[in-house]
Chain A
């Protein structure tokens, strides 16, 4: 079989297959087409409407919001950890006495030290 014969044979069979499609499928396809055409009067989506971008990319906005919240939470967590690490460092280097945590005036002293 040469190339053109193969192509001809296959495409003829495929055309026959579409002509002889079962009636239920043909009816369903026709109904789907009519349903799609009922949308011809609605405002265009995609490149047409001014609200197209937010509608099509709403998930991006959602993702950005989640990322923003996560970044905020991470920043706050880092701040908490940093303050604890700083205090521990002062304790280990002897700048603060070991009993400082029990001292009621430690917190005001620490605020003053930081300033």
Chain B
């Protein structure tokens, strides 16, 4: 069973990467923070009786589910908004649009100062290329090469076969190589 100190140490080491993973998926700073918060709470509330060595894989599964839940909720919300929108007063719409625009502008993923500096231009291009990858390819790439899971662990975290992981990774690397080449970035 993981002690609170072990969980704290694990989360302290994983939280930034988890935030970035969520941000690449949802492309919104605030939603990414919400997702990480839900994943952390879920890990502590449900799985703190697990041994510390199981935490990385569990946390990745929880994070992945939290990202999927975010998109599921967004789809349901969009459905109701579309359903109700003909009944709503048109005066309501500009406020919401500005609010969502402001949310995007606040996001350091898009317009943060670090991305405006030329020194981080390469990072911004790489992060944009990752965000543009299909979700499964991005998940496989990040788990396999960034989280340094082996193929079996990646397959377990993604809930697919090892063959699928290899295929997703191969395609992700090929797509990234193409995108970076087009942007004039070489290793």
Q: Are B4 and A25 in contact (CB under 8 A)?
A: no
Query: What is the bound-complex CA distance between A47 and B173, given in angstroms?
Result: 38
Cα A82 to Cα B15 in complex, Å, equals 64
Contacting residues, chain A, for B126 (C-beta < 8 A): 9-10, 13-14
- Bound complex: CA A8 to CA B15 (Å): 22
B57 within 8 A of A: no
CB closest residue in chain A, given B114: A20
Known: A10-B130, A25-B29, A36-B40. A46 touches B187 (CB 8 A): no
Name the distance in Å between B76's Cβ and chain A's nearest Cβ: 13
Q: Given A11-B145, A13-B123, is A32 in contact with B44 using a C-beta cutoff of 8 Å?
A: no
Which listed segment binds A: B16-24, B79-87, B88-96, B152-160?
A: B16-24
Question: Which single residue of chain B is at the shortest CB-CB distance from A34?
Answer: B8
Q: Tell me which of A37-45, A62-70, A85-93 binds B.
A: A37-45
- Interface residues of A: mostly helix, strand, loop or mixed? helix
If A1-B187, A9-B187, A47-B46 touch, whether A18 touches B37 (CB-CB below 8 Å) is no
Q: Tell me, rounded to whole Å, the shortest Cβ–Cβ distance linking B57 to chain A.
A: 16
What residue of chain B has the Cβ atom nearest to residue A20's Cβ?
B114
Q: Which of B67-75, B97-105, B176-184 contacts A (4 or more CB under 8 A)?
A: B176-184
Whether a CB of chain B sits under 8 angstroms from the CB of A35 is: yes
Contacts of B181 in A (CB 8 A): 1
Q: Is residue B186 contacting chain A, with contact meaning CB distance below 8 A?
A: yes
Interface size classification for chain B: 35 or more
Q: How many residues of A contact B (CB 8 A)?
A: 37
Minimal Cβ-Cβ distance residue in A for B37: A32
Please indicate which of the listed interface residues B8, B29, B130, B177 has the most CB atoms of chain A within 10 Å of its own CB: B177
Interface residues of B in 1-44 (CB under 8 A from A): 4, 7-8, 11-12, 15-17, 19-20, 29, 33, 36-37, 40-41, 43-44
From A5, which residue of chain B is reached at the shortest CB distance? Answer: B187
Known: A39-B45, A40-B44, A44-B45. A25 touches B108 (CB 8 A): yes
CA distance in complex: A21, B17 (Å): 10
Once A1-B187, A8-B187, A10-B145 are accepted as A-B contacts, the answer to whether A36 and B177 lie under 8 Å apart by CB is no
Nearest 7 pairs of A and B residues by beta carbon: A46-B46, A9-B187, A36-B40, A5-B187, A18-B16, A29-B15, A32-B37
Between A and B, 14 residue pairs with Cβ closer than 8 Å are A1-B180, A3-B173, A5-B187, A7-B145, A10-B141, A18-B20, A25-B19, A32-B15, A33-B8, A33-B15, A36-B43, A37-B8, A44-B45, A48-B49
